[in-house]
Structure 1
Amino acid sequence: MSDDHDALKAAYGFNFPDEFFAFREFTRTSVGKRLLNALGIRLEGPFQFLDKDEAHIKNPLWASRYYDDPPEFFTVLSGMMDGLHWGYYLDDPNDTRMCVAGFYSNDAFDLSIDGDTLFEVLRNDLEYSYGSALLDIEYGNEKAENQRHCAKLDRLREHLMKHATGDRPEMGEEYTEQYKAGSHRAVVAATRESMGIVVPEALYRSIAGRDFAKHSTPQPSATLVKKCSREALELLEQGFPGAALKLGKDLWISQVGRDACFTLLERAYEALERPLLKQMLGVARDYRTFCDARRK
């Protein structure tokens, strides 16, 4: 495992948690394979890198990337529908604590924290699937098929709990409502994609006027972007880089504010001493440029 750990650190720039390697071993068992298949979950990114996938060996930071993945997001799993994928989310790569977030790349840009570990993500998705099937049974929708699906998940849950989440007896909606991840994150300000920013409170001050996280339109005017960006960068110079970080993240999917977004985040990552995120910002920018060129 030490060699794999070092290889991933060299490729991705951070230390993968021990649970990643335990999860990888679990997915190689017959139970793990059946569970992934039942939930329609695929192993991505670092899993493919360790399996010597050519594209991931050649460019690991690019191969499993999605267009709107923020710099903090490193894809590890994907689902079946609407570009669903999960990734380790690193607010600060200098902090070994992380969580696993997910979102649908073909739907609204809204991230959720689905676990502190990959095992918790798997359990969470199992219980969502279980709860959905129970609801369909209640409404009489494909009752026999959903009953078989629930029975299969019951068996797989039992095996999963022998590896992880064994202290969580709840099922279905009761489980998904009971357990929330990411409690270690000290969010100081909300952002449009629902993740917020994690910086020391003393390094954040809000800009005056509009809070983009509280408005539904993703396309603010160029004039407003310029005004707010100028204020955020002034606050950064005064010792409040959190202002630039927040605004940059709020503008992440804005076409009008794209250049300003990259400038804000680059300056914020520099001030916060998060060089890996600055590097990933460059990767994201290059990947978007590549995708945009292919669409023309």
Structure 2
Amino acid sequence: MISRDRALDTMNERFPLVAERVRQIWGMRLPRHVAVFAALAASDGRALGENDISPWGVTDYFADGGLDLVGRDGLDPRLHARFRCDPAEFVTVMGGGSDGLHFGLWFDDPAELPALIVHNYARDSAETWESARPSLLTVVRELVDRQLADYGDDPQTVGSITPLIEAVEWYTAADEAALRADGLPRPVATPRSYLAMSLLPQLPPGSGDPQADESGIRLDIFRNDPARTARWIAEAGRELAAGRPALALAVGSELHWLDRPEHRQAGLDLLVGAYRALGRDALAEIAAVHAAHRDLASVQVLVRR
């Protein structure tokens, strides 16, 4: 471990190189607060680890020699830390320990900074949920505050959490500065829509109706009724062809999450078509490469040369 001052300086120096790597490979913009979390991991990784939190995903590029990492066996780096039900908008940046818990940046639009931080228990029910916190550091604080609320009477728990709280407080000023430097997210004209198993990205006006309130009903249909499933897929395709990609994105996302072999291609076609129609080609490419490699035995893809 290194001192916090040195860790912060080092990760801020590495940030432009890591951000450029993410831009080149993922086609996305990395927020500065990720460097602050990387500094926390470099200086206080033991305290993080004792609370089942770790840097993972694109944050691996911040480690010593991290920019030398490559995809094992020629695999695409965008598959790194991408579980089979993760939406394309989800880019992993932190591991959380139990049940495949992982945290990611959520990109409504790859041309913009991520709108949210989200999390997913990949080895449980694998829904994607959003966090109300704006940065990885504040998500860490939320996690430890929750542990204190649940187990604050246990001296061992308090003993493991206290050093991490102190470290988070030390980095708070740097985290707030990183958020200010990136600026506030662009305001949106309409409320966000939610599916039964994930949030939906914000869509521009004129994108159509995702019929999000029908999502739970659709999931049941997709599991049990092939004829009605075909009708939903056809309707989503017609909406997409008419220049209204919202329903295609919703239905494609639901089919992606369910991961039924008989619907994989139809779901992928809807997803890729919706992303292309929205001008979100980086998401279309992630969806396509993910679909081609969803059966990987391990999502630990980045390795040393």
Q: Shorter-chain TM-score: what band? A: 0.7 to 0.9
Q: Match for 1:154 among 162, 166, 169?
A: 162
The alpha carbon displacement at 1:154 in A equals: 3.2
CA deviation vs aligned residue, 1:48-87 (integer Å, no higher than 9, x gap): 2342345479532123221111111111111221111111
1:196 to 195, 200, 214: 200
Q: Structure 1 CA distance, aligned partners of 2:175 and 2:57?
A: 29
CA distance in structure 2 between the aligned counterparts of 1:165 and 1:204, rounded to whole angstroms: 42
Question: What code does the residue aligned with 1:13 have?
Answer: G
Match of 1:90 in 2: 107
> Offset of 1:270 from its aligned partner?
0.9
SS of residue in 2 equivalent to 1:194: coil
User: In 2, distance between residues paired with 1:147 and 1:275?
Assistant: 51
Structure 2 residue aligned with 1:212: 215
Rate the CA distance shift 1:197–1:45 in 2: closer, same or farther, 3 A: closer
Q: Does 1:33 align with 2:45?
A: yes
> TM-score scaled by structure 1?
0.79
1:46 to 58, 69, 77: 58
Determine the C-alpha separation between the residues in 2 that align with 1:187 and 1:246: 15
CA contact (8 A) 2:239 2:245 kept: yes
CA distance in 1, matches of 2:171, 2:52: 20
Alpha-carbon shift at residue 133 of structure 1 (Å) = 0.8
Q: Following the alignment from structure 1 to structure 2, what is the Cα–Cα distance between the partners of residues 183 and 153?
A: 35
Partner of 1:122: 140
TM-score (norm 2): 0.77
Structure 1 residues 20 and 271: CA distance shift in structure 2, 3 A: same
Higher relative contact order (CA 8 A, sep 6+): 2
- The worse-fitting range, judged by mean Cα deviation, of 1-10 and 124-133 is 1-10
State whether structure 2 residue 29 is matched by structure 1 residue 23.
no
Deviation at 1:220, TM superposition (A): 4.1
Show CA shifts across 1:85-112 (max 9, x none).
1111112112224322111111113211
Tell me the residue number matched to 1:269: 275
Q: 1:207 to 1:97 in 2, by over 3 A?
A: closer
Post-superposition Cα deviations, 1:102-160, rounded to whole Å, max 9, x if no partner, equal 111111132112332111221121122222213xx4xxxxxxxx223124423431331
Alignment-derived partner of residue 294 in structure 2: 288
**Secondary structure at 2:256 match in 1:** coil
Describe the SS at the equivalent of 1:202.
coil
Deviates more, 1:32-41 or 1:263-272: 32-41
| Alignment partners' CA distance in 2, 1:77 and 1:167 | 16
**Which amino acid is 2:287 matched to?**
L
Verify the 8 A CA contact 2:102 2:119 in the aligned structure 1: yes
Count of matched residue pairs: 266
Flag structure 1 segments of 5+ consecutive residues without an equivalent: 138-145, 169-181, 292-296
User: Which residue number corresponds to residue 231 of structure 2?
Assistant: 227
List per-residue Cα deviations over 1:272-294 (Å, max 9, x = no partner).
00000000011210111555xxx
Give the SS at the match of 1:66.
coil
C-alpha deviation, 1:257, in angstroms: 2.9
- State the distance in 1 between where 2:145 and 2:266 align: 41
**Secondary structure, aligned partner of 2:206:** helix
Q: Is the 8 A contact 1:76 1:87 kept in 2?
A: yes
Q: How far apart in 2 are the matches of 1:198 and 1:265?
A: 15
What corresponds to 2:180 in structure 1? none
Give how far 1:206 is off: 4.7
The one of 66, 83, 88 aligned to 1:66 = 83
* Alpha-carbon distance in 2 for matches of 1:157, 1:108: 30
Judged with a 3 Å threshold, the aligned counterparts in structure 2 of structure 1 residues 12 and 66 are, in CA distance, closer, same or farther, namely same
* 1:23 aligned partner, one-letter code: F
Once residues 167 and 284 of structure 1 are traced to their aligned partners in structure 2, the CA distance between those partners, rounded to angstroms, is 32
Give the alignment partner of residue 12 of structure 1, picking from 12, 22, 26.
26
Match of 1:252 in 2: 256
RMSD: 3.0
